[in-house]
Amino acid sequence: MEALPLRAGGGMEDIIDRYQNTVYGLALTKTGNRTDADDVFQEVFLAYCQCGKTFRDEDHRKAWLLRTTINQARRVTSSSWRQKTVPLSEQEDAPVSFKEPEENRVWEALQSLSEDYRLPIYLFYFQELSTLQIAKMLAIRPGAVRMRLTRGREQLREKLKGVYFDE
């Protein structure tokens, strides 16, 4: 198998087109607001341009982008500046909004989960990664990923009772 150089598979525009929803969705899931997700998105693709890395295949490239997104989002959410500032209003960022009200309810329920459950659920269902891939990405055991998925699903089911699930 031949290694893929940084630019293999198309130019930077092609890579951004291919992975923009993946990176932005994960950044939004991790940070919880659009402003920080925008910052993470830009930093991830800037790091991609500057890294000069050779990728084994597209899965390796995707894994690198997802891991970099998680790391960058963690930097943003744990920065000392963010911890020492107070937003001007209760609603510091425009809420995420989807076309269908049901999608909004599911998104709000997902965002209300702790990060331990929110990230594995997002990566499993939205990015269609295996539990083994998620375990490598989050540096935890595959059994822990499966447990977090189970517990996260239970919490989502409870939050969405009456909306999608019977009481």
Tokens describing residue 56? 């084994």
Distance CA(3)–CA(109), nearest Å, equals 40
* Residue 47 CB-half CA count within 13 A: 17
At 71-128, the pLDDT tens digits run 999 998 887 766 666 555 544 555 566 677 777 788 888 889 998 999 999 999 888 9
Residues 45 and 117 both lie in one domain: no
- Using DSSP, state whether 4 is helix, strand or coil: strand
Residues 68 and 103 both lie in one domain: no
CATH code of 136's domain? 1.10.10.10
Q: What percent of the chain has pLDDT over 70?
A: 80
Distance CA(133)–CA(156), nearest Å, equals 22
Q: What domain count does the chain have?
A: 2
**pLDDT score, position 90:** 45
Residues 7 and 65 both lie in one domain: yes
Residues 73 and 105 both lie in one domain: no
CB 92 within 8 A of CB 86: no
Residues 57 and 16 both lie in one domain: yes
Residues 77 and 129 both lie in one domain: no
**pLDDT score, position 79:** 74
Residue 39 inside a domain? The answer is: yes
When pLDDT is cut at 50, 70 and 90, the band that residue 4 belongs to is: low
Last residue of a domain, one of 49, 84, 119: 84
Averaged pLDDT of the chain: 84
End-to-end CA distance of the chain: 52
Distance CA(164)–CA(157), nearest Å, equals 8
Residue 56 inside a domain? The answer is: yes
pLDDT(16) > 60: yes
Distance CA(3)–CA(23), nearest Å, equals 22
Domain extent for 146:
97-167
**pLDDT score, position 18:** 94
> Cα-flanking dihedrals φ and ψ of residue 161, to 5°?
-60, 135
Residue 151 inside a domain? The answer is: yes
CB 16 within 8 A of CB 45: yes
CATH code of 80's domain? 1.10.1740.10
Residues 113 and 163 both lie in one domain: yes
Residue 91 inside a domain? The answer is: no
Residue 158 inside a domain? The answer is: yes
What average pLDDT does this structure show over 10-25?
90
What's the pTM?
0.73
Residue 90 inside a domain? The answer is: no
Mean pLDDT lowest for which of 22-36, 54-68, 98-112, 121-135? 98-112
Distance CA(36)–CA(31), nearest Å, equals 6
Nearest to 64 by CA among 78, 77, 75, 53: 53
